[in-house]
Structures are given as C-alpha cells and as structure tokens.
Structure 1
Amino acid sequence: MVAPPDNDVLWARSLTYSHNGSPALDGVSLGVREGEILAVCGPRGSGKTTLLRCLSGQLVPQEGEVWFNDSPVHTMSAVLRERLRRDRFSWIDPEPALVQELTAWENAALPLLLRGASHRVAKVTAMEWLDRLDIGQCARKRPYALLQAQRQRIAVARALVTTPSVLFADEPTAPLHRTDRAQVIRTLTTAARSHSITVVLATLDEEVAALADRTVSLLDGRRISSLGPTEAEGQAACSLSV
C-alpha cells in the first residue's frame, strides 16, 4: 500500500464494488484536498452513492484502497470505521432520518450529546446552526409537525454541528424546492469554507454542483472527468442527469 499525497485528506485508488453482482464502481480513483468542496455528478445509477459510502467507510470496496489522511480505511475493522464516522465524518441523506421522539434542536444536537458534550453546550451549538438555516423558530417542534423541507434543514444542521473533518452529502437538497435548495446549499458551502470542512457532495443539480470547487463525473461506475468550477464543461457533465 502507498500512502496518499500529503495535501489529500481523502484518497482512493482503483475502487471496485458490485451490488449483488451488478457493478457499481469500476476502478474509480480520486483525491480530495483538505477544505475542498467536491461535487460528484452523474445520472442515477452511475455509482455516486456507492462511491460516497466507500469513501466514508460505510462500505468496504471489493478491490482498491481508501485513505483518510494516513489511515487506510479499507483495512480498518468495523469498530474502527464506526468510530471514524462518529468522530471525524458526518453524513446527509436525501431523506432526513430524524428521531421522531426528539425535538428539532435535540435532533440537531444529538451527535454532540453522543460524544459526551454537556446539555447546555449541545443546545447552544445546535441552536446556532438551526438559526443559520432559518429553522430556529421550530426548535421545540417534533419532526411530525414539520414540513419535509424543514426536516431536511434539521438534518443539515445535525451534520454540521460537530464541525466534522469530512462531510459526505448524498443529494442533500433533493427534497427541497428551488428557493430552499439555494439557501441550504449556500449555508452548507459557506460553513464548510469558514470551518475548513472537506465536503464530498453527490448531486444531480447543476446549480448545486456549480458551487463546488471541483467536479468529478461518473458514468456506469467509471470516472469520466474532473473539472474546475470555471470550466463550462463542469456543468455540462452534470446535465447528463437531466
């Protein structure tokens, strides 16, 4: 095994993964620099979610390597990978998976509480993020009393509340209307840059991808391009999904 370059916080080489015999990744390699916002584009079924799950340690690639800094994620035990996801990573799903018995602020604060933060510190930090996402007024409501867009904002706040080293976002704006999408993704990217959070973002949305520092596109499980945000082809690559 060869350790990744010093300026890459995440590094993957020749990732291969199949779901029940159906190829999802076929030799994908990439590096993600510290503090970078990387958009992974491509049509549905191109392997975006599988790539994020391999990079985050949720899946172990059948072939290839994944490194976080100088640690080989692909050879870690399940316990160590779970600890890595808890302590250094965070994740946003397309659908907000909130705890129905908890209020909005308690859901947002949950990662801090699980780490042993005091009730007061966890609540203050959660409220700061809920306010940034214009959902602070719903802090005492439970998920069943909220709209889908409001629940998704809470999920975004929950992912940011620990200031993770790497935030993995799988179509985080999928359930949102256009206005909500713009506000949420701008908050996410601004927070990432101000706190040096590395973001790996899977998206079908050209406007979301345009806010990234760089775009990687997948097609049938293979990487087909890597472009900067100023190149017109960057948005054209994402238009494969339209």
Structure 2
Amino acid sequence: MVVPPDNDVIWARSLHHSHRGSPALVGVSLGVREGEILAVHGARGSGKTTLLRCLSGQLVPQEGEVWFNSTPVHTMPPLRRERLRRDRFGWIDPEPTLVPELRAWENVALPLLLCGASHRSARRTALEWMDRLDVGAAADKRPRVLVRAEQQRVAVARALVTTPSVLFADEPTATLHSADRAHVLRTVAAAARSHRMTMVLATHDADVAALADRVIVLADGRRAGSPQAAEAEGRAACSLSV
C-alpha cells in the first residue's frame, strides 16, 4: 500500500471498475489538493460519474485505492462510508433529486438536521444559501411546483449547506439553460473558494471545465494525455488569469 501525499485531500491510485463486464475505469490515478477545484473533463460514457462515485465512497472500486485526508475510503465498512459522505462530502447530481413531501427550504436544511442542528439554525442557514442561489422566494414551495432550474438550485443549495470538505458535482448544470448555468456555476465556484472547499467537477463541457484550477481528461475510462487535455488545461489557465 502506497501512502498518499500529505497535501492531497483526495487521492486515488490505479482505479479499476467495470459495469456488467464493460470497463468504466482503467487504472485511473489522481490527487486533489485542499481548496482546489478539479475538473474531470470527457465525453459522455468516458467514466466521469464512475470516478466521482469511487472518490466519494458511493462505489468501491474493484481494484485500486481511494484516500480522504490519509484515511483509506476503499476499505471502510459501508456504515462508516455513509457517515463520511453525510458529514464531510457534498454531492450534486445532473438531475435534482428532492424529497417531494418537503418544502424547498426543508430539502436544503435536511443534511443539517440529520447532523443534529437545531430546526431554527438549519432553517436560517438553508435560507441563506437559497438566497445566494436566487431561489429564496421558493423556500415554502414543494418541489412539484418549481421549474427545473429552481429545483436544481435547491439541490445545489442542499449540497452546499453543510460547507462540506469536498464537493462532488456530476454535470451539475447539464439540464439548465445558459443563463441559469452561468449563475449556478459562478455561485458554486465562489462558495468553494470562499469556504476552502475542495471540489471535483465532472463535465463534458469545456467552458465549464475552464472554471477549474486544473483539468484532467478521461477517455474510455483512462486518463488522457491528449491535445484535448492540453487545450482544456490551457482554457482553465486563461480563465484564472482574467
């Protein structure tokens, strides 16, 4: 077993995983530093979602290692991995997955309530994040009456409400129109930087990848050292220098 570098919050070595015999990850290794925004760029089907699920402990790789703050995630028992995801990680899906019976603010506050926060404190923090995402006016509405963009903003606020150590975002704006996409991405990136969150962002969109500090490219489940990778990294560097 190789000890991960001290300055990497998330570190993975030689990850392999298959779905029904079809390789999804083939020997992927990476490290993510504290406070860094890392974009995992690649076409649909390149293995991005599988990689994020392995890094976040949702999925145990069939081969390889995943570490969080020098603690092996890949050998944790299921309940401990579940607590890790609840207490230290945030997750944004491409599609908003909200509890239909709860009001919007209750959906956002749910992670805080599960961690033992008081009702008043959880509501206050949830409303603060909803306001930052311009969805505060929908706080008392049920998900079914919200449009898709509002539902996704609520889901994003829920992922941010605990200010997690690591935020995993899997195509977080794929279903949004360009104006909504830009606002949500700016808010998420600003929150990550202001709160020193580490962020791993999966995207097939080079413009989204350009928001990151660093870009890696996946192709057919492997890290690609291709002109596409160099171009994406170059765009990210140009974006940061503006």
- Superposition TM-score, scaled by structure 2 size: 0.94
Q: Which residue of 2 aligns with 1:71?
A: 71
Distance 1:105 1:24, change over 3 A: same
- CA RMSD, aligned part only? 1.7
Q: Secondary structure at the match of 1:85?
A: helix
* Runs of 4+ deviating beyond 2 Å: 231-237
Q: Secondary structure at the match of 2:74?
A: helix
Measure, in 2, the Cα distance between the counterparts of 1:74 and 1:55.
9
TM-aligned CA deviation for residue 236 of structure 1:
7.7
TM-aligned CA deviation for residue 207 of structure 1:
1.8
Q: Which residue of 2 aligns with 1:141?
A: 141
Q: Which residue of 1 aligns with 2:42?
A: 42
Q: Which residue of 2 aligns with 1:54?
A: 54
Q: Is there any run of 5+ residues in structure 2 with no aligned partner, and where?
A: 237-242
Distance 1:78 1:125, change over 3 A: same
Q: Which residue of 1 aligns with 2:197?
A: 197
TM-aligned CA deviation for residue 2 of structure 1:
1.9
Distance 1:214 1:226, change over 3 A: farther
Q: Which residue of 2 aligns with 1:114?
A: 114
For the 8 Å contact 1:41–1:218, the answer to whether it is kept is yes
TM-aligned CA deviation for residue 201 of structure 1:
0.5
Q: Is there any run of 5+ residues in structure 1 with no aligned partner, and where?
A: 238-242
- Superposition TM-score, scaled by structure 1 size: 0.94
User: 1:18 and 2:27 equivalent?
Assistant: no
Distance 1:160 1:233, change over 3 A: closer
Number of residue pairs aligned between Structure 1 and Structure 2: 235
Measure, in 2, the Cα distance between the counterparts of 1:191 and 1:121.
19
Matched letter for residue 77 of structure 1:
P
For the 8 Å contact 1:215–1:226, the answer to whether it is kept is no
Measure, in 2, the Cα distance between the counterparts of 1:236 and 1:58.
31
Q: Secondary structure at the match of 1:137?
A: helix
Q: Secondary structure at the match of 1:164?
A: coil
Measure, in 1, the Cα distance between the counterparts of 2:23 and 2:35.
31
TM-aligned CA deviation for residue 225 of structure 1:
3.6
Measure, in 2, the Cα distance between the counterparts of 1:49 and 1:232.
22
Identical columns (%): 73
Q: Which residue of 1 aligns with 2:233?
A: 234
For the 8 Å contact 2:109–2:122, the answer to whether it is kept is yes
For the 8 Å contact 1:214–1:226, the answer to whether it is kept is no
Measure, in 2, the Cα distance between the counterparts of 1:25 and 1:19.
9
Measure, in 1, the Cα distance between the counterparts of 2:99 and 2:151.
11
